[in-house]
């Protein structure tokens, strides 16, 4: 029993033969906590070794000069690497960063718009699983296979120019004309990334309550009104995810550039930031310059992602 005096509660003395309340099993909770950390240890070790430590090393290299291989040759030089790549006389600002942003826009906008159109059409067809599988096939294929197939199609005697010639249109140098090369590669990037976006958007469309569409149909709404007033607003979270991931993939893309152009040509017209980082590190041995470029690209991607999240919140997509 307890007694209260002046607002203070005191525990009454135990009666003879009464059992004392048992304390919380702290040792058991501690054992469970240790077991939890033990199960997390492989994942934490993996992310530490392959993500956190390389990121810290890359930041350190960005303010250093290093030719690779011998760690004793690393020389701290401050922000000189950033000054070299960010001055307006540097090719990294123009055309490389300009090409990167242009390539991202030319690949992401058609990809998101096309995947939204395909997802909306699949929703109205039979055998939806088959169509999703068909559009997902390019994602399964390797970048090397996709790049080589499209490279052959882009040749002067390839399929696309053959169709143009049949229509009495002169052949186009898709990969040899500096004005056309970057959009040509961006089209391949957009085509290859539609499949994954279609899966996400079709899942988002299926998650919308069907009764909303039925109510709109009863009110006399047509297909366009339903899509613009119901599907698109309720699909905004899925669209935001697709747009952000596609932008990140577009800014980081370089494997397709290597396969289709080999050296970012013609005349640096397809040279993008990730490809330039690869060349600086593995071709020229300028690991400090490559790391500084990587940090600049990371900041650009981070800012672009924040802008997209801010725009989505302002539009009412995220509370």
Model confidence pLDDT, tens digit, residues 22-39: 545 677 778 777 888 888
Cα 50 to Cα 3, 57, 143, 233, 261: the distances in Å are 61, 11, 23, 39, 30
Our count of domains for the chain comes to: 1
Which residues in 289-313 are b (16+ Cβ under 10 Å) and which e?
bbbbbbbbbeebbeebeeeeeeebe
Closest CA to 196 of 150, 132, 244, 253: 132
In a domain, 58, yes or no: no
Backbone angles phi, psi at 293, to 5 degrees: -60, -40
- pLDDT digits 0-9 by tens, 251-276: 999 899 999 998 888 888 999 999 99
In a domain, 196, yes or no: yes
Tokens of 79: 């922000």
Contacts of residue 116, Cβ cutoff 8 Å, sequence gap at least 6: 201, 235, 239
Contacts of residue 165, Cβ cutoff 8 Å, sequence gap at least 6: 171
In a domain, 311, yes or no: no
Output the pTM of the full model: 0.83
* Domain coverage including residue 230: 94-289
CA-CA distance, 64 to 81, in Å (whole number)? 8
In a domain, 244, yes or no: yes
CA-CA distance, 144 to 259, in Å (whole number)? 6
Backbone angles phi, psi at 64, to 5 degrees: -135, 170
In a domain, 282, yes or no: yes
Which neighbouring-strand residues pair with 2? 11
Q: Per-residue pLDDT tens, the chain, 319 aa: give them.
A: 444 444 444 555 555 555 555 545 677 778 777 888 888 899 999 999 999 999 999 999 999 999 888 888 899 999 999 999 998 888 999 899 999 999 999 999 999 999 999 988 888 888 888 888 888 888 888 899 999 999 999 998 889 999 999 999 999 999 999 999 999 999 999 999 998 899 899 989 888 888 888 888 888 888 888 888 888 888 998 999 999 999 999 999 989 999 999 888 888 899 999 999 999 999 999 999 999 999 999 999 999 999 999 988 887 644 4
In a domain, 138, yes or no: yes
CA-CA distance, 282 to 290, in Å (whole number)? 9
pLDDT averaged over every residue in the chain: 86
CATH no. for residue 214?
1.10.3720.10
Residue 69's pLDDT is 82
Residue 25's pLDDT is 62
Contacts of residue 198, Cβ cutoff 8 Å, sequence gap at least 6: 115, 118, 119, 122, 132, 135, 136
In a domain, 14, yes or no: no
Residue 15's pLDDT is 56
- pLDDT digits 0-9 by tens, 124-145: 888 888 888 888 888 888 899 9
Contacts of residue 181, Cβ cutoff 8 Å, sequence gap at least 6: 174, 175, 261, 265, 266, 269, 270
In a domain, 260, yes or no: yes
């Amino acid at each position: 029993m307890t007694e209260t005096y002046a607002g203070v509660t005191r525990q009454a003395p135990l009666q003879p033969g009464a059992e004392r309340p048992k304390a919380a099993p702290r040792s058991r909770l501690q054992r469970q906590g240790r077991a939890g950390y033990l199960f997390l240890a492989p994942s934490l070790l993996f992310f530490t070794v392959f993500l956190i430590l390389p990121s810290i090393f890359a930041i350190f290299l960005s303010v250093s000069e290093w030719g690779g291989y011998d760690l004793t040759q690393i020389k701290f030089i401050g922000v000189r690497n950033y000054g070299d790549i960010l001055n307006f006389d540097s090719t990294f600002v123009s055309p490389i960063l300009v090409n990167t942003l242009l390539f991202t826009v030319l690949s992401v906008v058609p990809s998101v718009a096309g995947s939204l159109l395909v997802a909306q059409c699949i929703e109205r067809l039979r055998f939806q699983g088959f169509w999703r599988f068909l559009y997902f096939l390019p994602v399964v294929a390797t970048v090397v296979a996709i790049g080589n197939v499209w490279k052959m199609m882009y040749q002067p005697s390839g399929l696309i120019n053959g169709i143009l010639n049949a229509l009495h249109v002169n052949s186009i140098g898709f990969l040899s004309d500096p004005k056309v090369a970057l959009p040509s590669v961006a089209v391949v990037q957009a085509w290859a990334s539609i499949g994954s976006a279609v899966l996400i958007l079709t899942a988002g469309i299926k998650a919308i309550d069907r009764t909303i569409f039925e109510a709109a149909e009863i009110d006399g709404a047509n297909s366009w009104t339903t899509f613009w007033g119901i599907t698109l607003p309720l699909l905004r979270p899925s669209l935001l995810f697709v747009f952000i991931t596609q932008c990140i993939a577009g800014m980081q893309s370089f494997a397709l550039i290597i396969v289709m152009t080999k050296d970012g040509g013609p005349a640096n017209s397809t040279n993008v930031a990730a490809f330039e980082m690869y060349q600086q590190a593995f071709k020229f041995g300028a690991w400090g310059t490559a790391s500084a470029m990587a940090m600049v690209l990371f900041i650009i991607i981070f800012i672009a992602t924040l802008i997209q999240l801010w725009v989505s919140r302002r539009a009412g997509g995220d509370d």
